[in-house]
Amino acid sequence: MQNNNVNCLVFISSLSLLGCIICMQHLAAQAVTGAQKFDHIMPVLRELHWLPVCLRIRYKLAMTVYKCLHGLAPTHLADDCLAISAIVGK
Protein backbone atom coordinates (compact mmCIF):
# COMPACT_ATOMS: atom_id res chain seq x y z
CA MET A 1 0.00 0.00 0.00
CA GLN A 2 3.03 2.28 0.10
CA ASN A 3 2.49 2.97 -3.61
CA ASN A 4 -0.94 4.46 -2.82
CA ASN A 5 0.65 6.85 -0.32
CA VAL A 6 2.96 8.07 -3.06
CA ASN A 7 -0.01 8.61 -5.38
CA CYS A 8 -1.78 10.66 -2.70
CA LEU A 9 1.29 12.85 -2.33
CA VAL A 10 1.52 13.35 -6.08
CA PHE A 11 -2.19 14.13 -6.23
CA ILE A 12 -1.82 17.06 -3.84
CA SER A 13 1.63 18.14 -4.98
CA SER A 14 2.47 21.18 -7.03
CA LEU A 15 1.74 21.31 -10.73
CA SER A 16 5.42 21.64 -11.54
CA LEU A 17 6.19 18.27 -9.94
CA LEU A 18 3.24 16.72 -11.72
CA GLY A 19 4.48 18.25 -14.97
CA CYS A 20 7.87 16.61 -14.45
CA ILE A 21 6.26 13.22 -13.86
CA ILE A 22 4.13 13.61 -17.00
CA CYS A 23 7.23 14.54 -18.99
CA MET A 24 9.06 11.49 -17.65
CA GLN A 25 6.15 9.25 -18.67
CA HIS A 26 6.19 10.72 -22.19
CA LEU A 27 9.95 10.24 -22.48
CA ALA A 28 9.67 6.65 -21.24
CA ALA A 29 6.91 5.93 -23.76
CA GLN A 30 9.04 7.39 -26.55
CA ALA A 31 12.04 5.32 -25.47
CA VAL A 32 10.04 2.09 -25.29
CA THR A 33 8.28 2.51 -28.63
CA GLY A 34 10.85 4.49 -30.59
CA ALA A 35 8.38 7.32 -31.14
CA GLN A 36 9.80 10.64 -32.27
CA LYS A 37 9.91 13.78 -30.09
CA PHE A 38 7.07 15.53 -31.90
CA ASP A 39 4.77 12.51 -32.36
CA HIS A 40 1.43 12.67 -30.60
CA ILE A 41 1.83 10.87 -27.29
CA MET A 42 -1.75 9.66 -26.68
CA PRO A 43 -1.66 6.97 -29.40
CA VAL A 44 1.70 5.84 -28.00
CA LEU A 45 0.27 5.60 -24.47
CA ARG A 46 -2.74 3.68 -25.79
CA GLU A 47 -0.47 1.28 -27.66
CA LEU A 48 1.38 0.59 -24.38
CA HIS A 49 -1.90 0.40 -22.42
CA TRP A 50 -0.63 3.17 -20.11
CA LEU A 51 -3.03 5.64 -18.52
CA PRO A 52 -1.93 9.28 -18.56
CA VAL A 53 -0.45 10.26 -15.19
CA CYS A 54 -3.44 12.29 -13.95
CA LEU A 55 -5.91 9.53 -14.82
CA ARG A 56 -3.69 6.88 -13.23
CA ILE A 57 -3.57 8.87 -9.98
CA ARG A 58 -7.36 9.19 -9.97
CA TYR A 59 -7.75 5.48 -10.72
CA LYS A 60 -5.41 4.45 -7.90
CA LEU A 61 -7.18 6.73 -5.40
CA ALA A 62 -10.60 5.43 -6.46
CA MET A 63 -9.38 1.84 -6.17
CA THR A 64 -8.02 2.49 -2.68
CA VAL A 65 -11.35 3.98 -1.55
CA TYR A 66 -13.23 1.03 -3.09
CA LYS A 67 -11.00 -1.43 -1.24
CA CYS A 68 -11.46 0.48 2.02
CA LEU A 69 -15.26 0.49 1.72
CA HIS A 70 -15.44 -3.20 0.82
CA GLY A 71 -13.09 -4.55 3.48
CA LEU A 72 -10.24 -5.32 1.09
CA ALA A 73 -7.76 -2.75 2.39
CA PRO A 74 -5.54 -2.87 5.47
CA THR A 75 -7.32 -1.72 8.62
CA HIS A 76 -5.10 1.33 9.06
CA LEU A 77 -6.56 2.67 5.80
CA ALA A 78 -10.09 1.32 6.13
CA ASP A 79 -10.50 2.89 9.58
CA ASP A 80 -10.11 6.36 8.06
CA CYS A 81 -12.43 5.78 5.10
CA LEU A 82 -16.16 5.71 5.77
CA ALA A 83 -19.12 5.86 3.41
CA ILE A 84 -21.20 9.00 3.81
CA SER A 85 -24.23 6.82 4.54
CA ALA A 86 -22.37 5.35 7.53
CA ILE A 87 -21.97 8.74 9.21
CA VAL A 88 -24.75 9.41 11.75
CA GLY A 89 -26.66 12.63 11.14
CA LYS A 90 -25.72 13.05 7.50
Q: Mean pLDDT over residues 84-89, rounded?
A: 73
Residue type, 69: L
Question: Domain span at residue 37?
Answer: 2-86
Average pLDDT for the chain: 84
Q: What is the predicted pLDDT for the residue at 77? A: 85
For the stretch 16-31, pLDDT in tens is 788 889 999 999 999 9
Q: Of 30, 54, 53, give the one whose Cα is nearest residue 41.
A: 30
What's the N-to-C CA distance of the chain in angstroms?
A: 30
pLDDT, tens only, 75-86: 888 888 877 777
Which pLDDT value is given to residue 14?
Answer: 65
User: Is the per-residue pLDDT at 1 higher than 90?
Assistant: no
DSSP letters along 54-66, please? HHHHHHHHHHHHH
Question: What pLDDT shows up at residue 9?
Answer: 61
How many domains would you assign to the chain? 1
Question: What is the CA angle 82-2-47, rounded to 5?
Answer: 100
